[in-house]
Structure 1
Amino acid sequence: MPHLIVEYSSNLEGFPEAHALDALNATIIASGQVQYEQDLKSRTIRTEQFVIGNDPTALRGFVHAELRLLAGRTPEVKRDLSERIAAVLRELTPHPEGMLVQLSVDIVDMDRAAYYKGTL
């Protein structure tokens, strides 16, 4: 805990995966909501097959980030985290000319009673 998953459409050529993950981890850790920096696990998923809407002629792409945290944070803290993540993604996401790129962020509460974490 926490887990950050960033999915993006494959038509966003040049999405800077490694740089984005470094910047996202830095901004999440700077929020003060991660007790131990080594607990933040982040990854990207390039989505090859996707459909946005139903207009086959429209040039569209997306980036969606989901931050999963143990439940218990206030709506204000969640909003701050969402805005921090969105700011990094707005800065780093390619925006090809003529393409509508949708950006979304979701903060998801994980059930404390059901979550297991161990180390090897």
Structure 2
Amino acid sequence: MPHLFVEYTDNLDGFPEVPVLTALNATVIASGEVLDECDLKSRVTRTTRFAVGNDATASRGFVHAELRLLTGRTPEAKRDLSERIAAVLREHTPKPEGMLVQLSVDVVDMDRAAYFKGRL
């Protein structure tokens, strides 16, 4: 815990996966909501099959981030995390001419009683 998932459409040529992960990890850790930086697990997935509305062409794309945290954060802390993540996405996401690119972030509570974590 926590887990950070980033998904982006493959029509966003040049999406900087490594810089985005680096910046996202830095901003989430800087929030103070992650006690041990090595607990944050992040990944990026390039989506090749997608549609935005009724348009599956190259004129629309998206980047979506989902941060999963154990329950217990205040609504204010979750909002802060969402805004931090959105700021990183705004800074790094390519903006191709003539394309509508949507950014979204969701902060999701994980059930503490059901979550398992172990180290090897």
TM-score normalized by structure 1?
0.97
Give the 3 Å change call, closer, same or farther, for CA 57–45 of structure 1 in structure 2: closer
**Residue 47 of structure 2 corresponds to which residue in structure 1?**
47
Q: Which letter maps to 2:88?
A: V
Inter-partner Cα distance in structure 2 for 1:4 and 1:27:
12
Inter-partner Cα distance in structure 1 for 2:56 and 2:26:
38
Q: Which contiguous aligned blocks of 4+ residues in structure 1 show a shift greater than 4 angstroms?
A: none
Give the 3 Å change call, closer, same or farther, for CA 107–56 of structure 1 in structure 2: closer
**Residue 15 of structure 2 corresponds to which residue in structure 1?**
15
| 5+ long unaligned stretches in structure 2 | none
TM-score normalized by structure 2?
0.97
State percent identity of aligned pairs: 77
Deviation at 1:12, TM superposition (A): 0.4
Deviation at 1:55, TM superposition (A): 3.4
Q: Deviations over 1:27-83 (max 9, x none)?
A: 000000000000000000000000110135671000000000001111110000000
RMSD: 1.0
Inter-partner Cα distance in structure 2 for 1:48 and 1:58:
11
- Specify the SS of the correspondent of 1:38: helix
Give the 3 Å change call, closer, same or farther, for CA 109–44 of structure 1 in structure 2: same
Q: Aligned residues, how many?
A: 120
Give the 3 Å change call, closer, same or farther, for CA 57–119 of structure 1 in structure 2: closer
**Residue 89 of structure 2 corresponds to which residue in structure 1?**
89
Q: Which letter maps to 1:51?
A: A
Deviation at 1:24, TM superposition (A): 0.2
Give the 3 Å change call, closer, same or farther, for CA 111–97 of structure 1 in structure 2: same
Inter-partner Cα distance in structure 2 for 1:58 and 1:20:
22
